[in-house]
Amino acid sequence: MRMLRPYTHMPVSTIASVPNLRDLGGHRGENGRSIRKGLLYRSEQLGHITDADMAVFNSLGLKKIYDLRTADERAALADRVPDGAVDFVVDVLADHSGAGPAQLLHLLEDPKAANAQFGDGKIAHVFANSYRELINLPSAHKGFALMFNELADADNLPALFHCTTGKDRTGWAAASLLTLCGVSDADVMKDYLLSNDFILPEYQPMIDKYVALGVEKEILLSILGVRQEYLEASFQEMRDQFGDIETYFSAGLGIDLAGQKALCEQFLEQTL
């Protein structure tokens, strides 16, 4: 068997303008085989890439970019697409009727109302419910099915998928794929929580601004960061509805066992 490379999840080092962009490879998956590096990336929105960083971004050789954002989010900030890549819209929240992180931030302009509505842990319950919807919404089934079917085709790789901050919709997409490919629950959660290391420093000025206005800091951290209980809510909903990850992919996303195997084989290192 090929020797496994050590796993160290770091963002693409010199793309400072997109700090939560990182390679999904490196985890040990099914039968001890590593997830291959350089094939699939997860990221936040791509509209802030600087001209100086674009050359490094181009060097990833991306063929497809899967944009999980809503129409309003895309209109607010369009992706900067690297040379040769196709930007593919996959709006997994098209059927969602509630407010996303960007909309929630507007509500913080009234600190007293925000603290009453979201304080004392209430905002965490809002987010946990939104993570359950990633399992249940028809648009989420349709969008994730489309993206994963595309990722099973080597002609679409290397690829990148992203939402706005690269932590919630992107977090579930990464977690479900890694789990399907045999990555341990602990490593899946570690990859998910790593977004805090990159997103929270990026949004520190915003956090400071609203805290100065009187908004409880925990509300901001709960909106802009990730928490273990959020991803656990998705997995619990997945188990409640489908039993296991394979049935979620087959019954929920319409990807049968042969399709699941084809998907994982794209990303698992080959044995000698």
d(CA 89, CA 67): 5
Q: Which domain holds residue 258?
A: 22-265
Q: What is the pLDDT of residues 94-147, one digit of tens each?
A: 998 765 555 677 788 899 999 999 999 999 999 999 999 999 999 999 999 999
In a domain, 209, yes or no: yes
Residue 7 lies in a domain: no
52's tokens: 């100086």
Question: Confidence band (pLDDT; 50, 70, 90) for 4?
Answer: very low
pLDDT score at 7: 37
Confidence category of residue 14, pLDDT binned at 50, 70, 90: low
Is the pTM for the entire model greater than 0.85? yes
Say which CATH number the domain at 182 has. Answer: 3.90.190.10
22-50 pLDDT per residue, tens: 999 999 998 889 999 999 999 999 999 99
Name the band, by pLDDT with cuts 50, 70 and 90, for residue 3. very low
8 falls within a domain: no
Using the predicted structure, report yes or no on whether residue 5 has a pLDDT greater than 70: no
pLDDT at 10 over 70: no
Q: What is the pLDDT of residue 100?
A: 58
Percent of the chain with pLDDT over 70: 92
Residue 13 in domain: no
Is 64 inside a domain boundary? yes
Residue 16 located in a structural domain: no
Q: Would residue 45 count as lying in a domain?
A: yes
Asked if pLDDT for residue 208 goes beyond 90, the answer is yes
154, amino acid identity: A
pLDDT at 1: 28
Q: Do the domain assignments include residue 53? A: yes
Q: Which pLDDT belongs to residue 2? A: 29
pLDDT digits (tens, 9 = 90+) for 47-92: 999 999 999 999 999 999 999 999 989 999 999 999 899 999 999 9
What pLDDT, on a 0 to 100 scale, did the predictor assign at position 150? 98
Nearest residue to 114 via CA among 203, 223, 229, 225: 223
Q: Cα–Cα distance between 84 and 155 in angstroms, integer?
A: 13
Predicted confidence at residue 268, as pLDDT, reads 97
Query: What is the C-alpha separation between 162 and 143, in angstroms, rounded?
Result: 13
Give me the chain's average pLDDT, please. 91
Q: Which two tokens stand for residue 22?
A: 């990182």
Number of domains in the chain: 1
Cα(142)–Cα(82) distance, rounded to whole angstroms?
A: 26
Residue 138, burial from CB neighbour count under 10 angstroms (0-12, 13-18, 19+): exposed
Q: Out of 25-34, 162-171, 179-188, which region has the weakest mean confidence (pLDDT)?
A: 25-34
